[in-house]
Chains A and B, each alone.
Chain A
Amino acid sequence: MYKINTNEPFWWGLFMGGAGMIGMFLPVLILVFGLAIPGGAVPPASYDTVRLIHLLGQPASVGNLLVKVFLFGVFSLTFFHWAHRFRYLLFDLGLHGGRTAVEYLCYSAALAATIYTAVTLFVIA
């Protein structure tokens, strides 16, 4: 019997939120932390250790809490975007068996990455 999948809009919502985050915010984060700073294109004072601790580390201040909430939002939705898209990528590539297992694996991985990100941002870094 055909049953409407009522979970799908929830995962699709996270997926779409992630699509926006990746498009809007990931390019500039990759540009700054992956290219500009390692490539020496910005003044060293902008990434000296004291400043980066104030910006991303502990103890949390009002200012860096905003940065952390922003990064958490971008990264967690990025992970759920990946989960949904990768699930369908596998189906598109011809995976017919084990679809439910793939769904659980993908969304569980995204959830684990999200928890790991929260702990790293708010407790460790």
Chain B
Amino acid sequence: MHAPLAPGYRPALSNGWWLSNRRYFLYMVRELTAVFAALWAIIFVTQLPQITAGAYSNPASLVSSPLWFAFSLVSLAFVLYHAWTAFNATGTLIYLRMGPKPIAGGSLNAAMFIAWALATFVIAFVFVTPAIGG
């Protein structure tokens, strides 16, 4: 799928390059957010049949355990770091124009955060309000 390295070429980078500098380290932490996002998602999916069978009311189930709570807390921290850095990069990644003037990057970032707050509120409201889908 990718072009092979040219013969005789040896990458000069050491395997610990990302430990040499705070920015490199944070870049790798950001890469790692994907691992926690996918792990949380796949574990949640494996628990769905138990959840619809009442796992949240059963103290012995995984989703009622302190382990799940702690893992979710750690995952949330990583996912929020992903969200924070992604939304703050929006204005750098996307160029939009209204009329002759480009929209300031800061405004695009702010729009992402407002959309995020709205989405969070609406989804939490739907899942947590007993009258919806009860």
Contact, CB under 8 Å: B83 / A53? no
Which residue, of A82, A96, A113, A120, has the highest number of chain B Cβ atoms within 10 A?
A82
Q: 1/0 per residue A62-91: CB within 8 Å of B?
A: 011001000000110011011001101100
Q: Which residue of A lies closest to B34 (CB)?
A: A85
B87 → chain A closest CB, angstroms: 6
Q: Which residues of A contact B64 (CB under 8 A)?
A: 38
Q: 1/0 per residue A46-59: CB within 8 Å of B?
A: 11111111111110
B23 → chain A closest CB, angstroms: 14
The one of A20, A33, A58, A103 that contacts B44, using a Cβ cutoff of 8 Å: A33
| Chain A interfacial residues counted at CB < 8 A | 69
**Pair count A-B, CB < 8 A:** 190
Contact, CB under 8 Å: B134 / A54? yes
Report the separation of the CA atoms of residues A5 and B3 in the bound assembly, to the nearest whole angstrom: 7
Main secondary structure of the interface of A (DSSP, over half): helix
Q: Which residue of B lies closest to A104 (CB)?
A: B1
Q: List 26 A-B contacts (CB under 8 A).
A: A23-B86, A25-B123, A27-B80, A32-B127, A33-B44, A33-B63, A33-B127, A34-B69, A35-B72, A39-B69, A43-B128, A49-B52, A49-B57, A51-B133, A56-B51, A56-B52, A75-B45, A79-B38, A92-B28, A99-B2, A103-B1, A113-B38, A113-B41, A117-B41, A117-B45, A120-B48
Question: B: which residues have CB within 8 A of A?
Answer: 1-3, 5, 11, 13-15, 18, 28, 31-35, 37-38, 40-42, 44-46, 48-49, 51-54, 56-57, 63-65, 68-69, 71-73, 75-76, 79-80, 82-83, 86-87, 115-116, 119-120, 123-124, 126-130, 133-134
Question: A: which residues have CB within 8 A of B?
Answer: 2-3, 5, 7, 18-20, 22-39, 42-58, 63-64, 67, 74-75, 78-79, 81-82, 85-86, 88-89, 92-94, 96, 99-100, 103, 113, 116-117, 120-121, 124-125
